[in-house]
Amino acid sequence: MTIESAEVVVTSPGRNFVTLRLTTSEGVVGLGDATLNGRELAAASYLRDHVAPLLVGRDPHAIEDTWQYLYRGAYWRRGPVTMAAIAAVDMALWDIKGKVAGLPVYQLLGGRSRRGALAYGHASGTTVEALVTSIHNHLDEGFRAIRVQSGVPGLGKVYGVGHDQARGQKYDYEPAGRTAAPVEETWDTAAYLRHVPGVFEAVRSEFGPELPLLHDAHHRLTPNQAAQLGRSLEPYDLFWLEDCTPGENQEALRRVRSQTTTPLAIGEVFNSVHDYQTLITEQLIDFVRSSVTHAGGITAVRKLMDFAAIYQVRSGFHGPTDVSPVGMAAALHLDVAIHNFGIQEYMPHSAQTLDVFRCGYSFVDGLLDPGEAPGLGVELDLEAAAAFEYTPAYLPVNRLRDGTIHDW
């Protein structure tokens, strides 16, 4: 059996997705996700122009060899575009291997370690009242762990908060963000730090001590501010505080870690195990936030998690709607297979997206499950995909009150 064709499908059912579709000489189809939110066409071109021609004629079963061939063979190491492209190839090959074997991918990874993957949903509110309603709605939808994001008095739109709450809008950036240039938001760290502890006080008093609560600071704090926030949130027993500082400075986490026992999660913008080396070996974090899509695929993330396991660091894979259902399925197969699973982020995709990507995974009683279909369990409807043309879309940028660009 050889790889006969490698096709890149760019589709936009409500938001943009880049999918690699491999077909073997025996007609087996494998899918991989290479969606890089806001920079989609770079990953599509990397695949189409530089990777697809190398895949035709190769043995689809040689997953490790193909991974190394694309990683070492590029000479230029790492980076989100390269690693998303390699991830797509890797996922598609695991999908093919599973279909040929007649087994879901998690079985090929060692089989099931748990009944399902605990998922957390994204509650948010411009006010505490709206936030409490949003949490109740998520609990009604079956979520058993909740990410809590709140508006900040004096600021307009902020990361993670659905603003049209009268219409029950959830936070989901891209579909609203189709402007010729990035939307600009205003940020004030001091106002945020003053406001957040009171939000958690209100949420704990409404929902009690047991509900796992998470929070994303979205890379905006200095190490000292992050230490302050971690400490002020200790009474509310967070499941994690995410991206408290920009992750590229791994050493910064030493300062935070030494000052607070609030669990820390980091890594959604990382793309290789090397980005975690200091964080994991010095046990500066508790959770790995990578997505399978942006960190080199199932092969690479499996190794990353085995490395993390030695240091009792657990998974909390990135699962926003900008990871396609194919990338989500890849995460779920790892979630149920690895021993050091922590939690899985879950932002359900829109009905439009799910018409294009037919998913075998399910969400029942707070747990996600990859399903029993051979391979990854997601099918791409090419005809439905063709109806949604690519539309450029940007993530927002952030400015401080004086106009200085800040991390978004």
Query: According to CB under 5 A, which one of 40, 95, 172, 216 is a site residue for Mg ion?
Result: 216
37 binds, among Mg ion, ligand GCO, none (CB under 5 to 8 A by kind): ligand GCO
172 binds, among Mg ion, ligand GCO, none (CB under 5 to 8 A by kind): none
Query: According to CB under 6 A, which one of 33, 95, 216, 275 is a site residue for ligand GCO?
Result: 216
335 binds, among ligand GCO, Mg ion, none (CB under 5 to 8 A by kind): none
Q: For Mg ion, give the closer residue by CB, 174 or 216.
A: 216
Measuring CA to CA, which residue among 285, 368, 280 is closest to residue 319? 368
Query: According to CB under 6 A, which one of 60, 320, 360, 370 is a site residue for ligand GCO?
Result: 320
Residue 33 engages ligand GCO in binding (rule: CB under 6 A)? no
Residue 294 among the catalytic residues: no
As measured in angstroms, the least distance from the Cβ of 321 to ligand GCO is 8
Query: According to CB under 6 A, which one of 90, 95, 322, 335 is a site residue for ligand GCO?
Result: 322
Q: For ligand GCO, give the closer residue by CB, 41 or 395.
A: 395
Q: For Mg ion, give the closer residue by CB, 66 or 290.
A: 290
345 binds, among Mg ion, ligand GCO, none (CB under 5 to 8 A by kind): ligand GCO
As measured in angstroms, the least distance from the Cβ of 125 to ligand GCO is 16
Contacts of 184 (CB under 8 A, 6+ apart): 396, 397, 398, 399
Residue 159 among the catalytic residues: yes
Query: According to CB under 6 A, which one of 19, 37, 245, 293 is a site residue for ligand GCO?
Result: 37
320 binds, among ligand GCO, Mg ion, none (CB under 5 to 8 A by kind): ligand GCO
As measured in angstroms, the least distance from the Cβ of 347 to ligand GCO is 7
Q: For Mg ion, give the closer residue by CB, 30 or 121.
A: 121
The residue type at 271: N
- Which of these segments, 70-78, 109-117, 233-241, 315-323, binds ligand GCO (CB under 6 A)? 315-323
Give the span between the Cα atoms of 119 and 141, in whole angstroms: 12
Which is catalytic among the residues 122, 138, 215, 218?
218
Q: For ligand GCO, give the closer residue by CB, 51 or 214.
A: 214
Give the span between the Cα atoms of 400 and 378, in whole angstroms: 42
95 binds, among ligand GCO, Mg ion, none (CB under 5 to 8 A by kind): none
Which residue in this structure is represented by tokens 């009171």? 198
By the 10 Å C-beta count (0-12 exposed, 13-18 middle, 19+ buried), 112 is classed as: middle
Which residue in this structure is represented by tokens 């070996």? 281
Q: In the 3-class helix/strand/coil scheme, how is the chain assigned residue by residue?
A: CCEEEEEEEEECCCCCEEEEEEEECCCCEEEEECCCCCCHHHHHHHHHHHHHHHHCCCCCCCHHHHHHHHHHHCCCCCCHHHHHHHHHHHHHHHHHHHHHHCCEHHHHCCCCCCCCEEEEEEEEECCHHHHHHHHHHHHHCCCCCEEEEECCCCCCCCCCCCCCHHHCCCCCCHHHCCCCCCCEEEECHHHHHHHHHHHHHHHHHHHCCCCCEEEECCCCCCHHHHHHHHHHHHHHCCCEEECCCCCCCCCHHHHHHHHCCCCEEECCCCCCHHHHHHHHHCCCCCEECCCCCCCCHHHHHHHHHHHHHHCCCEEEECCCCCCCHHHHHHHHHHHHHCCCCCEEECCCCCHHHHHHEEECCEEECCEEECCCCCECCEEECHHHHHCCCCCCCCCCEEEECCCCEECC
As measured in angstroms, the least distance from the Cβ of 171 to Mg ion is 11
Residue 90 engages ligand GCO in binding (rule: CB under 6 A)? no
As measured in angstroms, the least distance from the Cβ of 243 to ligand GCO is 7
Residue 316 engages ligand GCO in binding (rule: CB under 6 A)? no
Q: For Mg ion, give the closer residue by CB, 74 or 395.
A: 395
As measured in angstroms, the least distance from the Cβ of 395 to ligand GCO is 6
Residue 174 engages Mg ion in binding (rule: CB under 5 A)? no
Binding site for Mg ion (CB under 5 A): 216, 268
Binding site for ligand GCO (CB under 6 A): 37, 216, 218, 268, 318, 320, 322, 345, 395
Residues with a catalytic annotation lie at 159, 218
